[in-house]
């Protein structure tokens, strides 16, 4: 089985709609109903399946002119549903880009938060046995002030450590 995520734009509504594409025995199916508000425009950009039947997908979305909010979905028992992850303090607008899972209880998500105009910090979500958590304000020493940092990748070894990576602007 294979799983992928993406989104499409619907001109008649002006909204983006995220989807999960699943392949089983050579047949692809799309899942688009995740119980989200019909006026919520959202993107799915990363997916990880640590074991067959358990997957997590991440992205972001917005309603009207509001800020972006992180979107995290989980697959359990054949059903995709929204996972409520606590927002990172001071994150403001938040977008999740990639996820990698070492196990069903260990995942790391990379993204970015924009607490103010022209200020962008790295943002992570983490799944541990204690549950989901998030952290923003992540960036390297030597980055611009205000920072422009993006965590746009995540990688985990099975049963091992995870890391996030990305880019930042510096003074050079």
Per residue of the chain (172 residues), what is the pLDDT tens digit? 899 999 999 999 999 999 999 999 999 999 998 988 889 999 999 999 999 999 999 999 998 888 899 999 999 999 999 998 888 877 788 999 999 999 999 999 999 988 877 788 888 999 999 999 988 877 777 677 777 788 889 999 887 788 888 888 876 6
CA–CA dist 155, 82 (Å, integer):
22
Tokens 């899942």 appear where? 31
Q: Distance (Å, rounded) from C-alpha 65 to C-alpha 73?
A: 23
Contacts 24+ apart (CB under 8 A), 15-19: 15/39, 15/40, 15/41, 16/41, 16/42, 16/43, 16/61, 17/41, 17/42, 18/42, 18/43, 18/44, 18/57, 18/59, 18/61, 18/71, 19/44
* Cα 1 from Cα 120, distance rounded (Å): 37
Entry pTM:
0.90
């Amino acid at each position: 089985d294979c799983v992928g995520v993406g989104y499409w734009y619907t001109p008649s509504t002006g909204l983006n709609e995220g989807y999960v594409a699943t392949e089983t025995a050579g047949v692809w199916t799309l899942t688009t109903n995740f119980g989200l508000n019909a006026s919520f425009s959202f993107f799915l950009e990363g997916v990880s399946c640590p074991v067959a039947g358990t997957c997590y997908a991440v992205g972001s979305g917005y309603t009207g002119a509001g800020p972006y909010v992180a979107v995290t979905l989980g697959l359990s028992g054949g059903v995709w549903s929204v996972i409520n992850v606590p927002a990172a303090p001071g994150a403001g607008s938040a977008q999740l880009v990639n996820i990698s899972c070492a196990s069903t209880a260990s995942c790391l998500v990379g993204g970015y938060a924009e607490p103010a105009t022209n200020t962008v910090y790295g943002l992570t979500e983490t799944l541990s046995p204690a549950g989901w958590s998030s952290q923003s304000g992540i960036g390297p020493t030597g980055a611009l002030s205000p920072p422009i940092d993006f965590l746009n990748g995540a990688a985990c070894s099975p049963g091992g450590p995870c890391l996030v990576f990305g880019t930042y602007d510096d003074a050079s």
